[in-house]
Amino acid sequence: GAVVSQHPSWVICKSGTSVKIECRSLDFQATTMFWYRQFPKQSLMLMATSNEGSKATYEQGVEKDKFLINHASLTLSTLTVTSAHPEDSSFYICSASAGGPGNEQFFGPGTRLTVL
Amino acid sequence: QKEVEQDPGPLSVPEGAIVSLNCTYSNSAFQYFMWYRQYSRKGPELLMYTYSSGNKEDGRFTAQVDKSSKYISLFIRDSQPSDSATYLCAMSATQGGKLIFGQGTELSVKP
């Protein structure tokens, strides 16, 4: 149980275009979803937290107009990187929490974004 | 100073060795402690979850939390080549709250 999927697993796009990444909880309802980015050999940095039906809460330094997050249902959250630039190239990982006894976060497999 | 400090390694051990991974932290409000394993180009996988101080064992893995010293450990017994991965500690102050991750320790278990 507790499977989280992401789509696509990798994407290459041109500078200036927008890219949408989907995060789905496959076998549980996720009350909260988190979006992280990870640079090579570095840790995960939280970008934003989203609750179903509410606006996302962004971490300090993360541009909410650039990284649009939508949590439309209890099983789906999307991250759209708008007007992507090469510095946005990174590994984006989502996680989902069902709010169970430990409120553990279960992570998706990640999406590797390369902006040319 | 980072809230969570973790030696990035790399750490190389022979198969069968006992591995000790550690993190220190500065925020005394942290109460929930986790260890994740991350294979290259994959998402993190939850290994151990501990609340407050104490030990927790699951198979070859043992997690220890010492809140008085602000120090957590993960021990891997009888290490296997398949254990080769990056191990991330993470912690939060509230249940289901924001996770703060360590940098991750890259472990290599040689056959």
- Partner residue facing A104 (CB), from B42, B49, B101: B49
Please give the pLDDT value at position A100: 61
**Integer-rounded Cα radius of gyration of chain B:** 13
- Residue-wise pLDDT for B23-77, tens only, equals 999 999 999 999 999 998 889 999 999 988 889 999 999 999 999 999 999 999 9
String of b and e for A68-83 (b: at least 16 CB within 10 Å)? bbebeebbbbbbebee
* Contact at CB, B43 and A109, closer than 8 angstroms: yes
Percentage of chain A modeled with pLDDT above 70:
96
Q: Are A59 and A46 in contact (CB under 8 A)?
A: yes
Tell if the CB–CB gap between B51 and A102 is shorter than 8 Å.
Answer: yes
| Residue among B1, B31, B23, B29 nearest B101 (CA) | B23
A106: contact with B, CB 8 A cutoff: yes
The DSSP code sequence of A47-95 is: EEEEETTSPPEEPTT--TTTEEEEEEETTEEEEEE-S--GGG-EEEEEE
Of A75-79, A82-86, A96-100, B26-30, which gets the smallest average pLDDT?
A96-100
**For residues B62 and B88, what is the distance between their CA atoms, to the nearest angstrom?**
15
Q: How confident is the model at residue B110 (pLDDT cuts 50, 70, 90)?
A: very high
Q: Which two tokens stand for residue B45?
A: 């996988």
What dihedral do alpha carbons A64, A70, A76, A78 form, nearest 10°?
Answer: -50
Phi, psi of B42 (to 5 degrees): -125, 165
CB–CB contact B43 A93 (8 Å): yes
- Closest C-alpha to A112, from B104, B89, B40, B88: B40
